[in-house]
A = this chain, B = another copy of it.
Amino acid sequence: MSLPADPPPVERLLGRGRGTLGELFLARAERSAERPFLRFGERTWTYEEGMWEAQRFAGWVLAQAPGGDASGMRVASFLPNRPAAMWAWLGTLLAGAVYVPLNRSHRGALLEDMVERSGARILVADRDGTDVLSRLSLTEIDTLLVVEGAAEIEFGGRLAAWEQVAASEPRTRPATDPRALAEVMYTSGTTGRSKAVLLPHNYLLRGSGWVAWSLSLREDDVVHGWLPLFHIGGQLDMVLCFIAAGGAIALHPTFSQSRFWSEVEACGATHFIGFSNVLEIIWAMESTPTDRETTLRGGIAGGIPPNLHRGFEERFDLRLYDVYGMTESEPLAFPHPGTLPPVGAAGQPNPDFELAILGESGERLPADSLGEIVARPLVPDVTFAGYEGDVEAYAEATAGLWIHTGDLGRIDEQGNAYFVDRIKHAIRRRGENISTFELERVLTAHPQVADCSAVGVPSPLGEEDVKVMVVPAPDAALDPAALREWCEKEMASFMVPRYVEVVESLPRGPTGKVLKEELVGVSESVFDAEAERFRDNADTGRVR
């Protein structure tokens, strides 16, 4: 199949495949003025109404800008999912300014640091958000715009109320250079300070166009949207791709299991979105005879559990689309229209990228090998432009002139990409990469294992040996040696753990993540299969 050179929805709207988000918004407002754009609670905005809201925000931003020129100016936001977050985002871009969406969950010094290095002088927050912010020193912020109740807030700088925005003259002055910076988005920074990812307009424009293409989105599509608008997924895979196609976004503050189906019904959603846990939650709900009779026709997922993929599609009469990517490059892979990637695949490459799998020395591996997923852009300005103030991290993230995902995966002969695990979660044993995610998935299938975690511990032979910590199911008595024997039957020989530790519970951090670094110790009480073997040998006098 020959691939289109430009994302078709973008090309149809702008007459070219390159541009800025401001141009996209204006073209869409003109084309689809009367179509629904945003639904929140009981209220719906058409594209025309929505763009007026966004343009009023743009007018307010431009009024704050010296000489009325907001290009390069930064506007930070600290907002939950609500219409104001949409207007602040779209309006900032329509003003030609740069949007810095802050994760609404952050607190304290981390948040203070992010606000400070955002380069923003304007910060938009909701009333509850200002409670969090009021404890910080926001020396760089001149103006704090509060969505409601600004009068009650104490702030050293200038306080602005949303009424000012509502009363502003609608204006636009969007960026026209596709390379222009659209947003600065912080990554989670798992190994250090969060990195400030620089996102050019053209990257977000084309990326969302390709998602719309992948899902064959139409004007009458509606997404049940709840992913946070401060994340790349919530922006690109939930809002921008629907704008590209002219569809509607039914925005919800968060995902609710109990309300999911009534929300879907209320908004007539054709698509829902989520990660594998959302699929698991929906799957676990009781079957009803009407499962196949919903308005849903597609699910946009970052990772689909292979064991329920086809069953889920069958049960709800819809199609699941795995969209694979990261803040730095979203999306990198997804199903191409008219194709059905195999179960477990993250799809085929974004036509703007070449994907490859690299080995330990950075060498390109043949099809089906396990290694790091990397990407190279085939056209300009379709990926991040760097990490602000951290060129070293950028050089590392692009070593060998490849964009490193940090993900372990493989690509099959047909070009389907498979995400397997994060590399830093992988165990390296005698030349093999072992995915702890996969190992844990196998172990969890053992009837007497309630919970488990796998880590690598330094091996006297070099590299690592595998250690697992297992929490027995209630009333189960887990014998480490027996568990190991079971493993020998159930997993590749190189994955079979040397050490097995039975514990009552796993150490977990505040977000529920297992604190793996606390698991690497190998005390006397830990079962050691190699030690057992040596004991065996000593007893019998045999030498194996």
Q: What is the interface of chain A, defined by CB distance below 8 A to chain B?
A: 18, 178-179, 358, 361-364, 376-381, 386, 391-392, 394-395, 398, 400-403
Contact = CB atoms under 8 A, between A and B. Distances in A.
29 contacts: A18-B361, A178-B361, A179-B361, A358-B380, A361-B380, A361-B381, A362-B380, A362-B381, A363-B379, A363-B380, A364-B378, A364-B379, A376-B376, A376-B401, A377-B400, A377-B401, A380-B400, A381-B400, A386-B395, A391-B391, A391-B392, A391-B395, A394-B395, A395-B395, A398-B398, A398-B401, A401-B401, A401-B402, A401-B403
A355 to B, nearest CB: 13
A412 to B, nearest CB: 21
**Identical copies of this chain, number:** 2
Given A401-B401, A401-B403, 8 more contacts: A361-B381, A363-B379, A363-B380, A377-B400, A380-B400, A391-B391, A398-B398, A401-B402
Contacts of A401: 376-377, 398, 401-403
A364 B363 CA distance: 25
Contacts of A395: 386, 391, 394-395
Q: Which of A363, A401, A403 has the most CB of B within 10 A?
A: A401
A18 B363 CA distance: 11
The 3 closest A-B pairs by CB, nearest first: A362-B380, A391-B391, A401-B401
A391 B377 CA distance: 21
A400 B401 CA distance: 9
Contacts of A400: 377, 380-381
A178 B398 CA distance: 19
A362 B379 CA distance: 7
Nearest to A390: B391
Q: Which of A361, A362, A363, A381 has the most CB of B within 10 A?
A: A361
Nearest to A386: B395
A3 to B, nearest CB: 14
A417 to B, nearest CB: 18
A403 B398 CA distance: 12
A382 to B, nearest CB: 9
A421 B376 CA distance: 27
A179 B391 CA distance: 21
Nearest to A382: B400
Contacts of A381: 361-362, 400
Nearest to A177: B361
A18 B18 CA distance: 41
Q: Which of A358, A378, A386, A395 has the most CB of B within 10 A?
A: A395
Contacts of A386: 395
A379 B179 CA distance: 29
Contacts of A402: 401
A80 B416 CA distance: 56
A521 to B, nearest CB: 32
A271 to B, nearest CB: 32
A178 to B, nearest CB: 8
A256 to B, nearest CB: 42
A20 to B, nearest CB: 13
A392 B391 CA distance: 6
Nearest to A400: B380
A260 B392 CA distance: 48
A174 to B, nearest CB: 18
A400 B94 CA distance: 26
Nearest to A362: B380
Contacts of A178: 361
A177 to B, nearest CB: 9
Contacts of A398: 398, 401
A391 B398 CA distance: 12
Contacts of A378: 364
Nearest to A378: B364
A519 to B, nearest CB: 31
A362 B179 CA distance: 10
Contacts of A380: 358, 361-363, 400
Q: Which of A376, A378, A380 has the most CB of B within 10 A?
A: A380
A379 B364 CA distance: 7
A23 to B, nearest CB: 16
A208 B398 CA distance: 26
A361 B382 CA distance: 12
Contacts of A362: 380-381
A449 B363 CA distance: 54
A179 B378 CA distance: 27
A364 B382 CA distance: 13
